[in-house]
Structure 1
C-alpha cells in the first residue's frame, strides 16, 4: 500500500513539460514583462536532474524575473542565480544548441555593467554552424526569429539563415 501511495505521489508531482510550449513562453516573456511571472512559475519544479534545455529555460526565467526585483542586490542575485543555471547546462552538455541559444539571448540583452557578454561570439558562431542540423522545427523557427531580429548578427549572416 505504501509503495502504491508513493508511486501515485510521484506521478502526481511529476510534470510533463512541452518544450515547444516552454519555447513560446520564453519568447513571450522576453518580449513582454507581464508574462515573465507565468513563465517563471511554469518552471518551478525543474531541477538540475531534468533535460538541459528545461534547466536553461529555468535559468532564463530567473534572470528575466530579476529585472523586476525591487533592489539592486535582488536584481543582481537573481541574475547570477539564473545565469548560473544556464552555465551549468552548457558545462553539462556543451554541444546542446538550446542552452547556447538561451545564453546568447540573455547575454545580448543583459546590461553591460553586469559583464555577462564573454560568450557572445562563440555562441553566435555555434548557432550559425549548427542551425542547419536542428531537427525540431519549433526550435529552428525560434532560433531563426531570434537571429533575424538580433543586433549581434550581420545582415549577411541573417540572409544565410533566412534561406534555410
Structure 2
C-alpha cells in the first residue's frame, strides 16, 4: 500500500513539475512577441492546480493578455491579474517564485498603469532568498536576471 501511494505521489509530482516547467519556459519568452504571449496565455489557461505558483503564472497571463487584447478590455485584465497576484503573494509572502513573477510583471507593464510599487522589495527578496532555492528555480532566476531592467550588473553577478 505504501508503495502504491509513493508511486502515485511521484507520478503527480512529476506531472506538476512538468506543468511548472512548461509555464516557466513559455513565460520566459512571452514578452518577445505577440505569438509567444498568446502561446503563454493559452498554456496558462489550460492549467488547473491549487499550486500558488501556477496560479501566479495564470495571474501574469491575465496581465499579459492586456498587451494583446482590444482597448476596452485592457484595464480590467491588468486589474484582475494584478489583484490575483497580490492576493497570492499576501497568502504566500515567502514564496520566491511568486515574488519573481510580480517583479517581472511590474518591470514590463507601462509606468502609466501604476503597478510598479514592489520592484525594489521583490528584487531584494529574490536576491536574498536565491541560495535557498532548488536548482531549477535558481537557473530560472538567473535567466530572468540576465534580461532584467531592474537588477544591476553587480546584483546579477551574485547569482551563482
Identify the TM-score tier after normalising by the shorter chain: 0.7 to 0.9
Shift >3 Å, 4+ stretches: none
In structure 2, how many angstroms separate the alpha carbons of the residues matched to 1:45 and 1:152? Answer: 31
Cα distance between partner residues in 2 of 1:85 and 1:59 = 6
Query: Cα offset for 1:124?
Result: 0.4
Uncovered stretches (5+) of structure 1, i.e. residues with no partner: 1-14
Deviation at 1:46, TM superposition (A): 4.5
State whether residues 59 and 85 of structure 2, in contact with CA within 8 Å, keep that contact through their aligned partners in structure 1. Answer: yes
Q: Does 1:127 align with 2:126?
A: yes
Kindly provide the CA deviation profile for residues 4-46 of structure 1, in whole angstroms up to 9, marking residues without a partner as x.
Answer: xxxxxxxxxxx95621111001112122321222222222255
Deviations 1:89-124 (A, max 9, x none): 101100001110000001011101111111001000
**In angstroms, what is the RMSD of aligned CA positions?**
1.7
Q: Match for 2:136 among 127, 135, 138? A: 138
Aligned to 1:37: 38
Aligned position for 1:27: 28
TM value normalised by structure 1: 0.81
1:60 corresponds to: 60
From the two aligned structures, give the one with the greater helix fraction.
Answer: 2
Kept in 1, the 8 Å contact 2:37–2:68? The answer is no
1:72-91 matches, cutoff 5 A = 73-91=72-90
**CA drift at 1:155:** 1.6
Q: How many residues align?
A: 145
Higher Cα Rg, which structure = 1
- Could you state the TM-score of these two structures normalised by the residue count of structure 2? 0.83
Please tell me whether the aligned partners of residues 20 and 139 of structure 1 are also in contact (alpha carbons under 8 angstroms): no
Q: Deviations over 1:54-79 (max 9, x none)?
A: 000001111111111211x3111111
